[in-house]
């Protein structure tokens, strides 16, 4: 289980995240909604060890991870799929998937198979340079690369960004399949309709704070969520 408590994060004088609490239970799929600049990415980057929070605690199965360097966060079982994918353009699909060996594990053929089963398009393009993939394929590769670390907690930052609706569906089908297998997932998403159709629990951020939280059914009926995100 991932537990975030009283997390605050800043960029100089800008307070991007102001004392938020959230939890992702083992095996659940949690979503964080919110408009541009609400602090969602900063929250994820802080959780993943990419941004040092000002205060608060982040624990994974009871172990504090908020002060760990990135590679140790990965080793503790948390993997981030960053906004903008960040695949290594000159390397092939398979070389990108092998990069997770940096986390101290060799690219496991069984895991590679699992990624290729989840995303047959990546299997078809395994020798293609990542920079030549479509945006959707790059998103699949970024998810696949995170899965190669066998994460206990998979954290995704706006996987639908910039993708055509049919590709968003493919990416979300994979997220749902992972969730069904028991993968714990924390997802930041601007597309509230699709996020609320797949999650177990959701949080809504505004100006660095969580302003509403609840089950997807409750959130879909919340007037604030309806007006801001589902109209």
Question: Quick one: CA torsion of 41, 5, 58, 42, rounded to 10 degrees?
Answer: 10
Taking the complex as a whole, the smallest distance from the CB of residue 78 to ligand ATP amounts, in Å, to 18
Is residue 13 a contact residue for ligand ATP (CB under 6 A)?
no
Select 40 or 179, whichever has its Cβ closest to ligand ATP. Answer: 40
- Spatial neighbors of 19 by CB under 8 A, at least 6 apart, are 6, 7, 8, 56, 209
CB 71 within 8 A of CB 103: yes
Query: What angle, 0 to 180 degrees and rounded to 10, lies between the N-to-C axes of helices 165-180 and 135-147?
Result: 20
For ligand ATP (CB under 6 A), the number of binding residues is 12
Taking the complex as a whole, the smallest distance from the CB of residue 16 to ligand ATP amounts, in Å, to 3
Taking the complex as a whole, the smallest distance from the CB of residue 122 to ligand ATP amounts, in Å, to 26
Taking the complex as a whole, the smallest distance from the CB of residue 187 to ligand ATP amounts, in Å, to 12
Q: SS3 for 121?
A: helix
d(C-alpha 108, C-alpha 106), whole Å: 6
Taking the complex as a whole, the smallest distance from the CB of residue 73 to ligand ATP amounts, in Å, to 18
Closest CA to 47 of 228, 194, 30, 116: 30
Residues 15-54 that bind ligand ATP (CB under 6 A): 16, 34, 36-42
Select 34 or 216, whichever has its Cβ closest to ligand ATP. Answer: 34
Residues of this chain that bind ligand ATP (CB under 6 A):
11, 14, 16, 34, 36-42, 190
């Amino acid at each position: 289980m991932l537990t975030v408590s009283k997390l605050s994060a800043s960029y100089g004088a800008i307070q991007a995240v102001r004392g938020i609490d959230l939890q992702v239970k083992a095996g659940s799929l949690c979503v964080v909604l919110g408009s541009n600049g609400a602090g969602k990415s900063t929250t994820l980057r802080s959780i993943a060890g990419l941004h040092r929070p000002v205060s608060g605690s982040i624990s994974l199965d009871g172990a504090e991870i908020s002060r760990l360097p990135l590679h140790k966060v990965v080793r503790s079982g948390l993997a981030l799929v960053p906004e903008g994918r960040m695949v290594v353009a000159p390397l092939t699909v398979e070389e990108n998937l092998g990069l997770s060996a940096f986390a101290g594990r060799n690219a496991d053929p069984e895991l590679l198979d699992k990624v290729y089963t989840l995303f047959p398009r990546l299997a078809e393009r395994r020798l293609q340079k990542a920079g030549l993939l479509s945006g959707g394929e790059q998103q699949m590769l970024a998810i696949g690369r995170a899965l190669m670390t066998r994460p206990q907690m998979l954290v995704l930052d706006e996987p639908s960004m910039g993708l055509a609706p049919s590709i968003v569906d493919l990416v979300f089908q994979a997220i749902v399949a992972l969730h069904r297998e028991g993968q714990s997932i924390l997802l930041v998403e601007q597309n509230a309709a699709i996020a609320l159709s797949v999650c177990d629990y959701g949080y809504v951020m505004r100006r660095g704070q969580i302003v509403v939280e609840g089950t997807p059914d409750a959130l879909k009926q919340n007037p604030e969520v309806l007006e801001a995100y589902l109209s």
